[in-house]
A and B are shown apart, each in its own frame.
Chain A
């Protein structure tokens, strides 16, 4: 990187991005491109559900109970109004899958944002301040990790359901799931952030900031945090996929979204009972959507990890 003596205009943000290794490797990686395309399609479709979906599955008046368990269009005996058929309650499967994906994504993103907020703050404090703060947060994380996410979620969910009543739980189900999954998984973030903070905090730019007289809070958030973002991005992808799966699992166990506002998980559960009676599509179609969604996120995460791995990056 050599400067000539004449001043050159600093490149703009867009230029920096288009020169970056991230963009370069994305341009060359077909899998990453495909996964991003699939993921964006799913997200757009899910959040545009009220515009795209032919029916509103939350509106009981639009449901025709007589049209239940109709198969998708490629099987005989279908109704042209329902492309992917209908479920046991006569809801249009195409519409309900779109709405369900939206719920799943909402819970996934919400839970990950909560995890990240808690985990990054605790991890940053533990790593930078060290000593007792470090010991406290990390032991807390160890204890938390020794319970499985699902078990914590089941216990909390069951307790809330029992004390507050089932209707209360259904009303605030999305929020409850975000809280449960968010609280259960923050240690993943805390550990990753702490590890990279420990590496960063010994670098001389942190010493330089201390010599300058900056307060710990400013050094932590202005200097150390921006340099630990790469691993945060990488685990975020995995964590979103995990959160969506956790939510699906909880819903499948009946502790998640109620059937009136189903997520992909509760759709799979609802259809599961009909698999024996030949109506396999009610469970398999939302199942396939879930697999495609999680797979595309995970493959994107894999690509991101390879790109952001500093050892590969430097070479």
Chain B
């Protein structure tokens, strides 16, 4: 009964009465660990004549706080292994968080069962990185697009479903006559369009896009990015956009969150971040974008490499590579702090005015 009630409640919020001041999605103190130690028997170790249970974890996300407002595109950037995809997958319920909460439209969703999540599935959808793997190779395009409609609109008749599929295929620029074809008969860009169509089919309001253009060619990237922006305007979508490509962020994002080793180090509006990066890592990241203009790159070189997320550094996770690190950085974990222009930065050096 309670599941039904919540399902009804979720389905029947009229769009006009929505509290626009409240963020659409809130991520609070999110943590995710993956065990590296296998099952119980594998964890047992002999140490000093005693049997000890030994566990190792990858700390993929360590206390992430983010808010996504209605109608914006929040871009999460960072290098591989920084936990940005884990954030996306946790938000979508593909992974369950180790700690922390996720609130969607004021309601906590991270602890719901898959049945209770069903009404939210219609409102939030996901686009994946690899268009070659995200379409089931044994299903035709028509079948792929019909499936979410059948599930979320059980009362629709055949014609209504067919009409909707046609509309959505049209809107992503795929000829509806190609519905009988299989995914592998299309090029990468077209497959990504179909994947976008699948996400748009249930008319969601929020889309998580996990590196949606990284696997595509340059000329196709522009097409898909344009499509995503058109869809945003036409359908008033909110995006959580995961990428490693800063040029795309600059173009696409309303706000940017920079992640490093499972923590958010800076959140700012796109214009502010690119004009005035505060966090030393953001500065290094921005300086290393290959630009067309200058032929001699003047990028900031960081010491060493990203540490493994198995044994996290103490204090600020960035201190080992940071040119401004001092004793406090090694001991104390910096928190995100609001600056006067609304940017939030997690850095002791910025806080103390050393930077």
Known: A213-B121, A214-B147, A223-B136. A207 touches B187 (CB 8 A): no
Q: Which residue of A lies closest to B177 (CB)?
A: A7
A-B contacts at CB below 8 angstroms, number: 78
Residues of A with C-beta under 8 A to B148: 212-213
Query: B137 near A227 (CB under 8 angstroms)?
Result: yes
Query: A211 near B133 (CB under 8 angstroms)?
Result: no
Residues of A with C-beta under 8 A to B187: 1-3
A137–B117 alpha-carbon span in the complex (Å) = 29
Cβ of A10 under 8 Å from chain B: yes
Residues of B with C-beta under 8 A to A9: 177
Measuring CB to CB, which residues of chain B are less than 8 angstroms from any residue of chain A?
39, 89, 92-94, 114, 117-118, 121-122, 125-126, 128-130, 133-140, 147-148, 151-152, 175, 177-181, 184-187, 190, 195, 198, 202
Of the candidates B39, B114, B125, B133, which one forms a contact with A205 in the assembled complex, judged by CB atoms under 8 Å apart? B133
Residues of A with C-beta under 8 A to B140: 10
Of the candidates A1, A205, A207, A213, which one forms a contact with B186 in the assembled complex, judged by CB atoms under 8 Å apart? A1
Q: Which residue of B lies closest to A207 (CB)?
A: B94
CB distance from B172 to the nearest CB of A (A): 14
Query: B137 near A213 (CB under 8 angstroms)?
Result: no
Query: A208 near B126 (CB under 8 angstroms)?
Result: yes
Query: A205 near B134 (CB under 8 angstroms)?
Result: yes
Of the candidates B117, B118, B137, B185, which one forms a contact with A1 in the assembled complex, judged by CB atoms under 8 Å apart? B185
Cβ of A27 under 8 Å from chain B: no
Query: B151 near A213 (CB under 8 angstroms)?
Result: yes
Residues of A with C-beta under 8 A to B177: 7, 9
13 A-B residue pairings within 8 Å (CB atoms) = A3-B178, A3-B187, A9-B177, A204-B128, A204-B130, A204-B133, A205-B136, A207-B126, A209-B136, A210-B94, A212-B125, A213-B122, A214-B147
CB distance from B340 to the nearest CB of A (A): 39
Residues of A with C-beta under 8 A to B151: 212-214
Query: B186 near A212 (CB under 8 angstroms)?
Result: no
Known: A3-B186, A213-B117, A227-B138. A203 touches B178 (CB 8 A): no
Cβ of A28 under 8 Å from chain B: no
CB distance from B183 to the nearest CB of A (A): 9
Query: B136 near A213 (CB under 8 angstroms)?
Result: no
Query: A215 near B114 (CB under 8 angstroms)?
Result: yes
Of the candidates A10, A213, A223, which one forms a contact with B118 in the assembled complex, judged by CB atoms under 8 Å apart? A213
Query: A135 near B39 (CB under 8 angstroms)?
Result: yes
Q: Which residue of B lies closest to A134 (CB)?
A: B39
Residues of B with C-beta under 8 A to A209: 136, 147
Q: Mark A1-40, 1 if CB is under 8 A from B, else 0.
A: 1110001011000000000000000000000000000000
